[in-house]
Amino acid sequence: MKTREELAAEQAAYWNGQGGQAWLAAFERIQRSIAGFSDDVLTAAAAKPGEKVLDVGCGTGETSEALARAVRDTGHVLGVDISEVLVSAARARTLANATFEVGDAATYGFETAAFDLLFSRFGVMFFAEPVQAFRNLRRALRPMGRLVFLCWRTPQENPWGLVPMRAAMPFLPPMERPGPEDPGQYSFGDRTRVERILTEAGFASPSFRPLDRTVPLGPDIPTVLDNIGKFGPIARAFANAEPAQIEKAKQAIGEALRPHATAEGVRLGGACWLVSAQPG
């Protein structure tokens, strides 16, 4: 079993290496797939003119830009992300009222009680020690402030990810399964775990709104298959596979996706938690 330090180092290396590069390269496509969920979390966050906002794991800064528009020139957004390449992309937006810093949000020395809103779109599931990380974030929040973030529910509730993965697995080398307390894309799927983390970190009565939306994977199956190994768990599995294994896996994915190919593109269900909490 890996130690917490090893898991944290693995995440930092991933987002500063292949993971960050792949997220950046695939970002336009990812953005289209998550647009509905993204609107939901930005609406729920309801950033107001004059507010100070922290965008945790801000990536390329797309949500930071939306938040910066909402807080207007009297407010400010700080985007923090562990990935240098993604922070560079965020800085290239050159926003007058947003700044971006490279750092681990779990340990970053934020100003105490500085923010009205702690926000994140899919950026808080990768902490090796989530209670400590949320304690650090909690310290940065004003007494009347709020935490609002979006995370995926379980793989079983997310066929957009599960259907291709299940189809591919028999043809690929065995993959390491993350433990229930390990960081990763679906690590916040279990609501009771997230409740425990937030409560231990000093947040009060967190609320969980389930969001269910269709996730568009691409216009047609050949396009989806062209892109499927470029980011995420399937990319990791492909990285250790032979070309012939990848070919077979892609064929199987194509078959599995056929029932989900519609005139509007290849679309499967997706499920998120919209989590809100206040300081306790």
Ligand X SMILES: C[S@@+](CC[C@H](N)C(=O)[O-])C[C@H]1O[C@@H](n2cnc3c(N)ncnc32)[C@H](O)[C@@H]1O
Contacting positions for ligand X (CB under 6 A): 11, 15, 20, 23, 57-60, 62-63, 80-83, 86, 104-106, 121-123, 126-127
Nearer to ligand X, 107 or 205 (CB): 107
Are the CB atoms for 37 and 211 separated by under 8 Å?
yes
State the minimum distance, in angstroms, from the CB of residue 38 to ligand X: 7
The token pair that represents 132 in the structure block: 């400590």
135: left (phi over 0), alpha (psi -120 to 50) or beta: alpha
State the minimum distance, in angstroms, from the CB of residue 227 to ligand X: 16
Nearer to ligand X, 115 or 171 (CB): 115
Q: From CA 199, how far away is CA 190, in angstroms rounded?
A: 15
Nearer to ligand X, 122 or 203 (CB): 122
Burial of residue 156 (number of CB atoms within 10 Å: 0-12, 13-18, 19+): exposed
CA atoms within 13 A on the CB side of 33: 23
Q: What residue has token string 């969980």? A: 208
Nearer to ligand X, 15 or 134 (CB): 15
CA atoms within 13 A on the CB side of 177: 5
State the minimum distance, in angstroms, from the CB of residue 31 to ligand X: 7
State the minimum distance, in angstroms, from the CB of residue 170 to ligand X: 27
Q: From CA 101, how far away is CA 82, in angstroms rounded?
A: 8
Burial of residue 176 (number of CB atoms within 10 Å: 0-12, 13-18, 19+): exposed
Nearer to ligand X, 194 or 256 (CB): 194
State the minimum distance, in angstroms, from the CB of residue 138 to ligand X: 15
Nearer to ligand X, 59 or 75 (CB): 59
Closest CA to 115 of 73, 146, 161: 146
State the minimum distance, in angstroms, from the CB of residue 100 to ligand X: 11
